[in-house]
């Protein structure tokens, strides 16, 4: 990744932040985007002190103009784009029966449209570089997770978009990677939206038993370098779940239901 120009959305925390440090360590030139300017600035100061080239651009990916600005500023600074990591995302935890539709719209705006906007404006440069588009998805993009209708819908939509993009550019050298990290220890569950749009504020899962964001970043780097189509991490909650969903969907539906129902204060039983 030496001198590759990499854009990472949602770079202020979690997997995005871990990717920034991992790719910087590998010699990449970074363009980091997130809503939190303060957190981005802190990452920039640390990485530049280590001799890395870093550009930070406060960005709300649900806004098309913000995404267009992110791409323009990156090209003005570096002259090219080699890799786009569509990582920005939010989750939810509520029954569809009870959720405000505005919550689902918010998830689609960030998780799906944020990916579409950034990819649309970056695509000419990525095609020129025969570069990579990466979508940080979830097992929820392969199976419908109860209590996460908006989250699963947004990730399924991301998959359809990226798979079609891959096929359309089959002869143009574009690499498209769909990455499903599985349950990862990040802030995504604490900031997950409730039925009425408030942040959940606490995680319903044992974070210390999950894969770290740093480990996910290392796997992502290897998958990008190998130009893999799909990256599914963890065995039982990842690879096995996706495999069984193709051949025994009714079993996976039951297992998913009872697994998610075990969470503290689960919205369903």
In a domain, 180, yes or no: yes
In a domain, 267, yes or no: no
pLDDT of residue 75: 98
In a domain, 208, yes or no: yes
Which position among 121, 125, 151, 257 bears the catalytic label? 151
> pLDDT of 71-91, one tens digit each?
999 999 999 999 999 999 999
> pLDDT of 197-243, one tens digit each?
887 766 555 556 678 899 999 999 999 999 999 999 875 676 777 77
The Cα-based distances of 80 to 71, 75, 201 in angstroms read 10, 5, 39
Verify whether residue 121 is a known catalytic residue: no
- Find the CATH number of the domain harbouring 91: 3.40.50.720
Average pLDDT in the 168-174 region? 96
Evaluate whether 224 touches 179 at the Cβ level (below 8 Å): no
What is the domain range of residue 177? 5-261
Cα(218)–Cα(165) distance, integer angstroms:
25
Check whether 19 has a pLDDT greater than 90: yes
In a domain, 51, yes or no: yes
In a domain, 269, yes or no: no
In a domain, 266, yes or no: no
| Number of compact structural domains in the chain | 1
């Amino acid at each position: 990744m030496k001198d590759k120009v990499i854009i990472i959305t949602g770079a202020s925390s979690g997997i995005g932040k871990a990717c920034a440090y991992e790719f910087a360590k590998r010699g990449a030139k970074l363009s980091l985007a997130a809503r939190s300017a303060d957190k981005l600035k802190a990452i920039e100061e640390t990485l530049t002190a280590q001799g890395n080239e870093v550009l930070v651009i406060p960005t709300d990916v649900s806004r098309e103009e913000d995404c267009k600005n992110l791409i323009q500023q990156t090209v003005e600074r570096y002259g090219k784009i080699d890799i786009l990591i569509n990582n920005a995302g939010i989750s939810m935890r509520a029954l569809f029966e009870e959720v405000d539709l505005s919550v689902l719209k918010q998830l689609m705006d960030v998780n799906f449209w944020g990916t579409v906007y950034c990819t649309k404006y970056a695509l000419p440069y990525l095609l020129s570089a025969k570069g990579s588009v990466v979508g940080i998805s979830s097992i929820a993009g392969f199976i419908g997770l109860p209590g996460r209708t908006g989250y699963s819908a947004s990730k399924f939509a991301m998959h359809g978009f990226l798979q079609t993009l891959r096929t359309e550019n089959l002869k143009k050298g574009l690499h498209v990677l769909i990455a499903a990290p599985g349950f990862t220890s990040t802030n995504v569950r604490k900031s997950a939206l409730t039925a009425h749009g408030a942040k959940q504020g606490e995680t319903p899962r044992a974070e210390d038993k999950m894969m770290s964001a740093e480990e996910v970043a290392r796997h992502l780097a290897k998958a990008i370098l190998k130009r893999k189509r799909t990256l599914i991490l963890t065995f039982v909650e990842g690879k096995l779940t996706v495999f069984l969903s193709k051949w025994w969907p009714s079993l996976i539906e039951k297992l998913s239901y009872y697994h998610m129902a075990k969470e503290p204060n689960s919205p369903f039983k």
